Amino acid sequence: MSQNAMQPHRQSPDTRIALVTGASRGLGAALALALARDHHVIAVARTVGGLEELDDRIRAAGGSATLAPMDVTEPEAMAQLGRSIYDRWGRLNLWAHTAIYAAPLTPSAHLESADLDRSLKVNVTATATLIKMIEPLLNLTPGARALFFDDARAGAKFFGYYGASKAAQMALVRSWRAESASAGFDVEILTPAPMPTAVRARFFPGEDRTALSAPGDEAARILAGLGA
């Protein structure tokens, strides 16, 4: 975490703690802002500017956040993140994982190996690493939840690397959910409505974005459905 991120926050021992990985834009930023109404939010992303803008919005709304400008693909950084959460708060009420890599859409025969490597590293390996680091924190917190998001692109034309890596991520999460059925926390897999995010703009350039759900509205709907 950055020096700014390590500044102390005064909170009640009863303050709920939420971690959002991939928090600098899109649904991740919207969830972080919504959660900050009644959680202290730990916001993780590589984009420092996006995190600082999010922090300004959270503070303007009367909330508080810890900024963690980190790359989820770096295991040492994620280990540090988990340890820092434990040392400072000793609990984690909610984890929302929205970090994703969207490989360019192209016919399968034209896919670049570098995009496969990046897709697997971000969408699968980083998720596996985070599960390992975050599960002990969720186990310490009765009623905790982990949230993941599926968009069912597997098998769609031109979505080869994105669809395959996203399907692998969801398979991993479903296994974790089954393994955790008797644990004290819940693993949720949600399917958000289409939103005008930067990722979707790459997938569907020229789409009429006025017909899409605003990330803030979708974040509110998701959290209301969870009772969070």
Question: Does the pLDDT of residue 222 top 90, yes or no?
Answer: yes
From residue 26, give the alpha-carbon distance in Å to each of 85, 114, 192. Answer: 24, 25, 12
**Which residue has tokens 């400072």?**
88
Question: Does the pLDDT of residue 8 top 60, yes or no?
Answer: no
Q: Is residue 11 very low, low, confident or very high in pLDDT (cuts 50, 70, 90)?
A: low
Write the CB contacts of 201 (distance below 8 Å, at least 6 apart in sequence): 207, 209
Both tokens of 226, joined, read: 């969870």
pLDDT tens-digit map of 96-124: 999 999 988 889 899 899 999 999 999 99
Distance CA 161, CA 176 (A): 23
12-193 to CATH, choices 1.10.8.60, 3.40.50.720, 3.40.50.970, 3.50.50.60: 3.40.50.720
Question: Does the pLDDT of residue 203 top 90, yes or no?
Answer: no
Q: Is residue 12 very low, low, confident or very high in pLDDT (cuts 50, 70, 90)?
A: low
**Which helix (H) or strand (E) is 188 found in, with range?**
strand 185-190
Write the CB contacts of 7 (distance below 8 Å, at least 6 apart in sequence): none
Distance CA 122, CA 72 (A): 7
Buried b (16+ CB within 10 A) or exposed e, 189-214: eeebeebbbebbeebeeeeeeeebee
- Asked if residue 61 lies in contact with residue 36, where contact means CB atoms within 8 angstroms, the answer is yes
Q: What pLDDT is recorded for position 200? A: 87
